[in-house]
Amino acid sequence: LTPHWSYTGETGPENWPKFFPICGGDSQSPVNIETANAQSTIYLPFLFTNYNKKAATTSLMNNGHTAQVNFDMLDGLPMPSVIGGGLQGSYTFLQFHLHWGADDTVGSEHTVDGKSYAGELHLVHFKTEYGNVAEAIKHVDGIAVLGVFLEATDVDNPNLWSLIEGLPSVIHADTHTTINSFPLLKLLPQNLLKFYRYSGSLTTPTCNEIVIWTVFRDPITISSAQLAKLRMLEEEDGKLIKMNFRPVQPLNGRQYVTRLI
């Protein structure tokens, strides 16, 4: 039986490589982004398709490690997808989920010049030409994750209300509910032209090194009250998911680039 993994103690990140060897690999995520070391490059802007559309059904799931949202589009309306931004080809949206900390001073997975944010939102996409995530995961460019920092404020982010309102219905691990739909565009920062790019991994076991990472420079906001509601979700064993971010991993000579102008 595969041992359960978590964010603390015996099954925490320091011990993931014992059970999931790839988690000890050379191209792991997240990383600290040293802005002074980012190579400027020329990329087209991102082009988002159906990011401005609502889904027919939007489901919120507590999978025991995070709050995850999946979209079911109406017949005829393709899933949201993204091209450009230096990505090679099209990537189809799969799910988004959140990472947070035990308090508002930590919670993001990536850090910028050593700075942590209160959380990080991950929009997970698979490379459209691979057809599905099971196939995509076999390729080094199979997954593109768009990471958005969550900055703690005193004021609720209304774009997160739908998700936050659903949380009381998914307190227990492996439960799901339906929430009001909203366009994915509402989760992105204003400035989509400023981002960091590098090759890395899934930040949870099995830590496959198959992710083209985009980390937007600018955060979106989340209130302290909204963050507190995320910390009320439970793991499989009934303990609270007080925090669910992996510490930064060695860069091991990897380069990261930033979009010029």
- Positions marked active-site: 65
* Closest CB to Zn ion among residues 122, 125: 122
Contact call for residues 198 and 35 (beta carbons, < 8 A): no
Task: Write down the least CB distance from residue 222 to ligand B30, Å.
Answer: 17
Taking CA atoms, 174 is separated from 83, 235, 237, in Å, by 32, 9, 11
Tokens of 61: 């799931």
Task: Write down the least CB distance from residue 199 to ligand B30, Å.
Answer: 13
Task: Write down the least CB distance from residue 212 to ligand B30, Å.
Answer: 11
By the rule CB under 6 A, 127 interacts with ligand B30: no
217 binds, among Zn ion, ligand B30, none (CB under 5 to 8 A by kind): none
Task: Write down the least CB distance from residue 133 to ligand B30, Å.
Answer: 7
69 binds, among ligand B30, Zn ion, none (CB under 5 to 8 A by kind): none
User: Binding ligand B30 by CB under 6 A: which of 38, 98, 118, 124?
Assistant: 124
Tokens of 52: 């401005």
214 binds, among Zn ion, ligand B30, none (CB under 5 to 8 A by kind): none
Residues 98-137 close enough to bind Zn ion by CB under 5 A: 122
User: Binding ligand B30 by CB under 6 A: which of 63, 221, 244, 249?
Assistant: 63
User: Binding ligand B30 by CB under 6 A: which of 38, 87, 145, 222?
Assistant: 145
By the rule CB under 6 A, 202 interacts with ligand B30: yes
Name the site residues for ligand B30 (rule: CB under 6 A): 63, 65, 122, 124, 145, 202-205
